[in-house]
Amino acid sequence: MIRIIKLLGALLLFIQLCAAQKLMYVSTSFHEPANEGLRFIYSRDGIHWDSIPGTWLKPTVGNQKVLRDPSITRTPDGTFHLVWTSSWKGDLGFGYAYSKDLIHWSKEQFISVMKNEPTTVNVWAPDIFYDNERGNFVVVWASCIPNRFKKGIEDEKNNHRLYYITTKDFKTISATKLLYDPGFSSIDATIVKRAKSDYVLVFKDNTRPNRNLKVAFAKSPTGPYSKASATFSENFVEGPTVEKIADNYIIYFDEYQKFSYGAVSTKDFIHFSNISRKVSVPKGHKHGTIFKAPASMIQNLIKVGNLNISQKTDSTSNNLSSIK
């Protein structure tokens, strides 16, 4: 009997460990006007999404102290690294913080990346990519430096190009370099690794009237990248994020004029199928990046989020009662 009990105990522990190791899809998010902080949504299949209650990191850095375009990657040691847009205009850098559990976050840092370009209008949508071959981070973002590039159709203060830095620890940071100049204003880039020496850059053509998504290819995450492809999306979309599900890459994007999300599926980033009608994303959530986290961690995140909301509700009720 004792032996059976021990076996059952070991089996239960094994099941719990397996459940803890099961991964779920998670995406960073924010709500307008982006001053409340970091939010999350989650999914079991990468197609149907639910909200995780609460906000998890209130922005404290930057001129406007907002948290827009949050982007996360997880390193092999289990740490989540987050970057975000900290101001619409006026900042020469972006926000950065890290966490082990998505609940408790490090002190926020402001990472100055355009200090050598003082006329820079903005630093938009930093996207963090972990290069597991070189053991460092690549952060790509869009900035506008007036009169730097051929004007084209856009105003000089809206003529963006894509820049990047590399770092191993966000303490020592490389010089800022131009990542990609497709010949037109471009923003909202994300790097996808398909295999060794095989990378895809998904980005937004920000010229009027396009405002749509394109791709380019390279043998290294820092380029050089190929000529931009034809568009694969409708106009007036932004904030692409990519997740591989089985043999397909799903590219989500924010349909900001429709206040909804769209998505396409592709195997090769050449042929695309629109699957927008198949996906579901809760209303109000704005674009971030998809990553994976242990199911046990997400369950705890939901539990803590619900508890925090309950405590706030009780506090508000008590305050109202005292007023009466």
- Determine contact, residues 45/94, Cβ cutoff 8 Å: no
Tens digit of each residue's pLDDT (9 = 90 or more) over 43-102: 999 999 999 999 999 999 999 999 999 999 999 999 999 999 999 999 999 999 999 999
> Tell me, what's the pLDDT at 314?
58
Give the Cα separation of 176 and 159 in Å (integer): 18
Give the Cα separation of 3 and 32 in Å (integer): 58
Q: Which is higher by pLDDT, 4 or 180?
A: 180
Please give the average per-residue pLDDT across 301-308, as a whole number. Answer: 94
> Tell me, what's the pLDDT at 83?
98
The DSSP result for 256-290, as a single string, is TTTTEEEEEEESSSSSEEE-TTT-B--TT-----E
Residue 302, phi then psi, degrees to nearest 5? -65, -45
Confidence of residue 308 (pLDDT cuts 50, 70, 90): confident
Query: How many other CB atoms are found less than 10 A from the CB of residue 229?
Result: 16
Look at residue 179 and tell me whether its pLDDT is greater than 50.
yes
- What single-letter DSSP state applies at residue 248? E
Tens digit of each residue's pLDDT (9 = 90 or more) over 38-53: 999 999 999 999 999 9
Confidence of residue 186 (pLDDT cuts 50, 70, 90): very high
Q: What global pTM score does this model have?
A: 0.90
Q: Alpha helices of the chain — where are they, by DSSP H?
A: 2-21, 295-323
> Tell me, what's the pLDDT at 27?
98
Give the Cα separation of 153 and 209 in Å (integer): 9
Contacts of 286 (CB under 8 A, 6+ apart): 29, 30, 31, 32, 34, 68, 239, 254
- What single-letter DSSP state applies at residue 37? -
Q: Find where tokens 């980005």 sit.
A: 203
Please give the average per-residue pLDDT across 15-28, as a whole number. Answer: 73
- Determine contact, residues 188/238, Cβ cutoff 8 Å: yes
Tell me the average pLDDT of the chain: 91
Tens digit of each residue's pLDDT (9 = 90 or more) over 121-176: 999 999 999 999 999 999 999 999 999 998 778 888 899 999 999 999 999 999 99
Closest CA to 261 of 5, 93, 38, 27: 27
Ordered by where they begin, the domains of the chain are: 25-317 (2.115.10.20)
Go through 85-114 and write b for each residue having 16 or more CB atoms within 10 A of its CB, e for each that does not: bbbeeebbbbbbbebeebeebeebbbbebb
In angstroms and rounded to an integer, the radius of gyration of the C-alpha atoms of the chain is 21
